[in-house]
Amino acid sequence: MQHVVSELQAAHVGKLLFQEPLAAYTTWKIGGPADCLIIPDSKEALAETLRILYRHGVPWIAIGRGSNMLVSDKGIRGAVILLGRAFEYLNFDNERVIAGGALSFIKLSVLAGKQGLTGLEFAGGIPGSVGGAVYMNAGAHGSDVSRILKQADIVLETGELVTWTAEELEFAYRHSILHSIKGIVTEAVFELSSGNRTEIAAAMASYKDRRIKTQPLQMACAGSTFRNPEGTYAAKLIEEAGLKGLRVGGAEVSTQHANFIVNTGQATAADVLTLMDQMRSKVQELYGVDLIPEVLVVGEP
């Protein structure tokens, strides 16, 4: 790995941190160290980073804003890529919105609303980055990224820069082609519509009020743990199974929202995984439904 590090340093790709604990970079506040955390400071630096890693066969993962992700207690071998501040930009061009991949998805929705643009109200409570939202086809309140995305700029694992349309991204429920073709979203272009600022603000305030009342936002968590099965809700099945408050170590099924696992203070990834297994087993036993994780589990087993 040292010769790879030397190449990265010589290429001046950005900041390199070694054996960096990843708990500080995830919303669950859980995760062991990364062999090498790379924070590229430009699209060109990111492309060069990926070219070097690809040439040497070094595994890597991008972490965005660390939501919707569980990093193992042993950490991540190889490289972890975190887009830097250079990717946190936002530009408005009439009803077209151009956002950097590292920009907060919540911030994007709020600022778009203030511009009188409607279509992103659903994103007001999704705590990831724009890039992560595209990767996951993030959604809520009956809408998702696929409905408003025009195109996205992506650096593929080979270092090639491409621009893909929404159709080319092959969106499905919490899924895009980036789950099978590795790459990092550096920019997304959204097509919104002109709306009434007062109505947009009211809708977002209503969504926010509902989140505060129903979700454990004051605690470390990663959003929804499981995908909603067809025709029902994961939270409904988990709650009806009597699992609210179930605890393993420092991980607990939220008493406020059954599809959230919260870190009560000292939870480990092993605690969360054990709790997830217990939740899946109980729901399968009672209802014959296999809950599919929505959170991405990464790192050394």
Q: Over the stretch 57-109, which tens digit does the pLDDT of each residue have?
A: 999 999 999 988 999 999 999 999 999 899 999 999 999 999 999 999 999 99
Please state, as a whole number, how many other Cβ atoms lie within 10 Å of the Cβ of residue 280: 18
Residue 39, pLDDT above cutoff 90: yes
Mean pLDDT of all residues in 192-216: 91
Q: What proportion of the chain, given as a percentage, has pLDDT over 70? A: 100
Among 1-5, 19-23, 223-227, the least confident range = 1-5
For the chain, the 3-state helix, strand and coil shares in percent, each to the nearest 5, are 35, 30, 40
Considering only CA atoms, give the Rg of the chain. 19
pTM of the model: 0.91
The closest alpha carbon to 291, from 299, 144, 282, belongs to 282
Mean pLDDT of all residues in 187-201: 96
Please report which residue ranges of 137-233 form alpha helices under DSSP H.
197-214
Per-residue pLDDT at 63: 94
Mean pLDDT of all residues in 252-281: 98
Distance CA(129)–CA(176), nearest Å, equals 15
Residues labelled as active-site residues: 174, 224, 294
Per-residue pLDDT at 274: 98
φ, ψ of residue 233 in degrees (nearest 5):
-120, 140
- Phi-psi category of residue 236: left, alpha or beta, with phi > 0 → left and psi -120 to 50 → alpha: alpha
Task: Supply the angle between the helices 43-56 and 2-10 in degrees, to the nearest 10.
Answer: 150
Per-residue pLDDT at 210: 86
Residue 124, pLDDT above cutoff 90: no
Please state, as a whole number, how many other Cβ atoms lie within 10 Å of the Cβ of residue 204: 20
Residue 141, pLDDT above cutoff 90: no
Go through the domains of the chain in sequence order and give each one's CATH number.
2-82 (3.30.43.10), 87-199 (3.30.465.10), 217-291 (3.90.78.10)
Per-residue pLDDT at 2: 87
Distance CA(217)–CA(260), nearest Å, equals 10
Distance CA(28)–CA(262), nearest Å, equals 7
Distance CA(99)–CA(48), nearest Å, equals 22
φ, ψ of residue 80 in degrees (nearest 5):
-120, 130
In DSSP terms, 297 is beta-bridged to 70
Question: Which residues of 121-166 form beta strands (DSSP E)?
Answer: 139-140, 143-144, 149-156, 161-165
Residue 37, pLDDT above cutoff 90: yes
Mean pLDDT for all residues in the chain: 96
Residue 211, pLDDT above cutoff 90: no
The closest alpha carbon to 79, from 10, 19, 6, 141, belongs to 19
- The 10s digit of each residue's pLDDT in 161-175 is 999 999 999 999 989
Per-residue pLDDT at 207: 86
